[in-house]
Amino acid sequence: MRVKDALGRFGEDTAARYLQRCGMEILDRNWRCATGEIDIIARDGSCLVFCEVKTRSGDRYGTPAQAVVPAKAARIRRVAVQWLRDHDHDPMALRFDVVEVYRSRTSPLRVEHLRGAF
């Protein structure tokens, strides 16, 4: 496994554990369709949450959330619509979050949850 892939997998596992500790129920992970992928789909009370997880080992290229550019956010929304169709899901509310995971050799592990990020 490439280092980048391993870091991404670590970040997604960390984010899933964090969301569960916050009381969210994980419904799906790494759900894919022809349009793209959603890292984590969870339920937060009556709200269905589509989470993009971004993991970084440093801030050389900006914050993890800055990597979710408008085109990426639009693609995630399209994938979310497909997930809703495939799962016959009609939630009361939808939310799109970004979970930032910072992993560094010189700093402690840090998770930032940006609710309603896009």
CATH assignment of the domain containing 72: 3.40.1350.10
Residues of the chain with pLDDT under 70: 91
Domain that holds residue 84: 3-114
Diameter of the chain measured on Cα atoms: 45
Quick one: pLDDT at residue 91? 64
Quick one: pLDDT at residue 4? 75
**Over the stretch 63-93, which tens digit does the pLDDT of each residue have?**
999 999 999 999 999 999 999 999 987 767 9
Quick one: pLDDT at residue 31? 98
> In this structure, is the dihedral angle defined by the CA atoms of residues 54, 59, 106 and 97, taken in order, positive or negative?
negative
Quick one: pLDDT at residue 113? 98
| E strand map for the chain | 25-33, 36-44, 47-56, 93-102, 110-114
- Number of domains the chain is built from: 1
**Gap between the Cα atoms of 111 and 88, Å rounded:** 32
